[in-house]
Amino acid sequence: MLTGTGAYRILELAERSLDLGSDDRAAAERELRDAADEVSQAIDWLLDHDPRGALRLAGSLSFFWQDAGRLDEGRATTDRVLAHATASDDAAIARLQLVASELAFRQGDQVQATRRADTCIALARRADDRPTEAMADLLLARVAFRDEDASRIERHAEHALSIAPDDPWVRRGAVHMLAWAAHTAGDRASARRRFEASVELRTAQHDRFGAAVEEANLGDLAAEDGDLAEAGRRLRDALLVAMESDSRYLVVNLLPSLAVVAAKAGADELAARCIGAAERAADDAALDPDPGTWQPVLDDVERRLGARYAGLQAEGRALPPDAALRLALSIADLVDPPGRAG
């Protein structure tokens, strides 16, 4: 049974994991992941003994739920805490609605993601919490991204930046979404520049994981441009970070990218197995991959393989997680052999 000391330790870790100015932020993230089975217990204890502490903890767990592959638990827990909130907790409830919006988005629930973000914005305005309002605008930009609406992505990202220009989370989120706005509009050169700027910003914030996310996006751009060696290098680097941190979120999004690389390299059998492995990873984490341009490429794999496709895909789905990661690394090594000069 978790004690109060344990509950407050988890609260401390959750809040420190969001502090971009903390030197041991990454260590806090790792320790929080190690205590994953105790997080819901901590919320239960706090609901009984310190309801405001429960609000603080639940409002700090969006990335944790995604990265640990506990989306269903996260959505249910967030709603449970919201049910205990009172009308005087506008700022805390706004942050909980922000968490609920992002978790809904990560499962492809556009209606709930939008509704929760709109509720967050109204509450954050009432509480004069500009960073939280801006982050909800960035969630609406993500919804627009899944809808492939470049102008809406840009409008929400620019508005978020205008609301809270000095907030480090808002600034990096806006740069990231403006890159996707450019990409969605077909301006690949601007998208690349913005993703590169995002890597620099996240590196300056000492966020290796965040930089890896953008390296993966640059890898996808390289694959689209036909530079499979660059794609393999960037995606391999991101995958190694995912393996080191045991990030379900990053794995779910990297496997489809590496399936595309295999397809573009003419390795359709590898691509089909990787597609199956990607589907299993997404199912296990209850997490939808981020929107991407990979689906037409993967549809072509199925067409080219014909009747053989289903069996190869099933082989990939049957792979245990470690074997799926080795398969993904083998694709990166195929197009960018280790030790290759350049």
- pLDDT tens figures, 165-187: 999 999 999 999 999 999 999 99
| Domain span holding position 163 | 88-188
Tell me the average pLDDT across 309-313.
Answer: 97
Sequence-ordered list of residues with C-beta below 8 angstroms from that of 192, at least 6 positions apart, any chain:
218, 221
Phi first, then psi, for residue 27 (nearest 5°) are -65, -40
pLDDT in tens, 187-203: 999 999 999 999 999 99
Tell me the average pLDDT across 79-85.
Answer: 92
Instruction: Round to whole Å and give the CA distance between 185 and 171.
Output: 21
Q: Are residues 145 and 246 in the same domain?
A: no
Q: Are residues 99 and 225 in the same domain?
A: no
Query: Please, what is the Cα angle at 190 between 185 and 195, to 5 degrees?
Result: 105
Q: Are residues 216 and 324 in the same domain?
A: yes
Work out the pLDDT band at 128, boundaries 50, 70, 90.
Answer: very high
Q: Report yes or no on 198 lying in a domain.
A: no
Q: Are residues 1 and 102 in the same domain?
A: no
Work out the pLDDT band at 292, boundaries 50, 70, 90.
Answer: confident
* Total domains in the fold of the chain: 3
pLDDT at 21: 75
Q: Are residues 246 and 342 in the same domain?
A: yes
Sequence-ordered list of residues with C-beta below 8 angstroms from that of 244, at least 6 positions apart, any chain:
none
Tally Cβ neighbours within 10 Å of residue 2: 19
Three-class SS state of 166: coil
Work out the pLDDT band at 86, boundaries 50, 70, 90.
Answer: confident
pLDDT at 87: 66
* Range of weakest confidence among 20-34, 41-55, 128-142: 20-34
pLDDT at 301: 95
Domain boundary among 157, 188, 219: 188
Q: Are residues 312 and 230 in the same domain?
A: yes
Q: Report yes or no on 194 lying in a domain.
A: no
Q: Percent of the chain scored above 90 by pLDDT?
A: 88
pLDDT at 38: 95
Q: Report yes or no on 202 lying in a domain.
A: no
pLDDT at 31 over 90: yes
Q: Are residues 285 and 217 in the same domain?
A: yes
Q: Are residues 61 and 95 in the same domain?
A: no
Q: Are residues 95 and 80 in the same domain?
A: no
Tell me the average pLDDT across 111-117.
Answer: 98
Q: Report yes or no on 195 lying in a domain.
A: no
Q: Report yes or no on 196 lying in a domain.
A: no
Domain boundary among 61, 85, 109: 85
Q: Are 75 and 83 contacting, i.e. CB atoms less than 8 angstroms apart?
A: no
pLDDT at 340: 63
Q: Percent of the chain scored above 70 by pLDDT?
A: 98
Instruction: Round to whole Å and give the CA distance between 135 and 123.
Output: 13
Q: Are 278 and 317 contacting, i.e. CB atoms less than 8 angstroms apart?
A: no
* Summary mean pLDDT of the chain: 94
